[in-house]
Structures are given as structure tokens and as C-alpha cells.
Chains A and B, each alone.
Chain A
């Protein structure tokens, strides 16, 4: 049981990492840092609804740290981490309130919280409150990408329902 669990977490982390790396090859036309689909979060959102809190945290943080190392963008790691912590905390609370048929909703809140964390980190690191001007754009983008990744995760949750664990 224990070994199986660890294997599952490993597979999920690997899948998230692959999605993350492939997504990093997609060029985005937006002039604002931080706007992206965040496809790797399909795995995160799925895990939030299927695994224990510390297991989700493990998947998320291993993916963020290894993802930054593999993509060679260490600065991005700080922003991802602060966004990730806030997003994870929020979603773990929301999963108690929102059932898995409204997973996309939890995902939207998660995305907006992630963007909030990123902006806070950027303001602190750059000592430039003007960065907050990006926040409205990030919220709009976060709602859209959050809904998309949430819907994808919902499909995954539905498909995996029948497998015994």
C-alpha cells in the first residue's frame, strides 16, 4: 500500500514535470510576466481532490523545484513557490467546501491565489509597488486558465474514479 502510494505520487510528479517542460516551449505573446496556461496544474488540482495534503504539497514542490532546474530559470522558482504556497493552502481549504463536480471553480480560486502570491513576491523582490498594475491582467488570465485547467482536471478525476486504490 505504502509503496503503491509512493509510486503513484512519483508518476504524478513526473507527469506534471513533463507537462511543465513542454508548456515552457509554448511562446506566449503577452508582455506580462506570469501569464500562462499552467497546464501542469491539472495534476495539482487532480491531486488536491485525490490525495492527502502533504502528498499534494510534495507533488507540487518537487515539480516546481525540478521544473525550475530543468528549464534553467531559477528566478522564476521564487515566484512559483510563493504562488504555489498560497494556491495550495487555498485549494486545500476549498476542497472541503467545493465538491468535485465543481472542481473547475476551486481551480479558478487556486489560480487567482497563485497570481496573488506571485505579485506579492514580485513587489517584495523588486521593491516596486508599480508591479501591482499587472495584477488585474493576471486575475483575468488566472480566471480563464484556472477554469481551463480545472475542467481538464475534472475529466481526469472522472476517468480515474473507477480504478481501485
Chain B
């Protein structure tokens, strides 16, 4: 009896996870991207007007190479051990930021695009 209740709870958690994942994948994206470290904004980039380029962001001797191309942004190379940020690929959902945990780097879409003018 106790086990049945717990199995149902586990099933509900699993179902909520799937629903949440679908919600995250479908969340809309904006045109403004921010690159942050520990809640400090390093760059604000408007992808509509940004020129194609690559640049390095350094942190305690580690480097993330960020690429902007055709109005998209990604981490092209990184010298951290897990390379999760590189594997994330192009930034595509406002709910899934590109994250480099070792280098404390976060690249995400900005919720409200009122800072467009500050870009670059």
C-alpha cells in the first residue's frame, strides 16, 4: 500500500518533468542576448544587428570562445574539462541558457528587449 502511493508519487514527478521539459523547449526567444558572469552582465548583444565575429572571454586563465554568426550565438570552443557549453550549440530557447559552470559563464536571451540601445 505504502509502496503504491510512493510509485504514484514517482510517476507524477516523472510526468511533471516531461511536461516541464516540453514547456522549456517551447518557450519563445527574443533578439537580445546577454553574456553574464556571476550575475554581472559582461556583454549585451542585439542579434539582429550584430556583425559576425568570434571573441574570447577569459576567466582565471580559462577561455571560452564565443561565436556570433547569422544572428545566432554559441560557444565555439572552451578549455574547460566538460565542454557542456560547446555541446549546447546555438542558443535557441529563452529557457535554456548556455552555461559554462567551471568558468561561471552564462549566455541567455534577455526577457524584455528594452535595452536594445545599450547593445554592443
Contacts and interface: CB of A to CB of B under 8 A. Distances in A.
Interface in B16-30: 16-21, 23-24
Contact of A139 (B3, B7, B16): B16
A24 to B, nearest CB: 9
A59 to B, nearest CB: 25
B88 A31 contact: yes
A136 B3 CA distance: 24
Majority-rule SS of A interface residues: helix
Interface in A104-138: 105, 108-109, 112, 122, 125-128, 130-131, 133-138
A164 interface: no
Contacts of B113: none
A126 B7 contact: no
Interface in A43-100: 71-73, 75-76, 79, 97-99
Interface of A: 29-33, 71-73, 75-76, 79, 97-99, 102, 105, 108-109, 112, 122, 125-128, 130-131, 133-140, 142-143
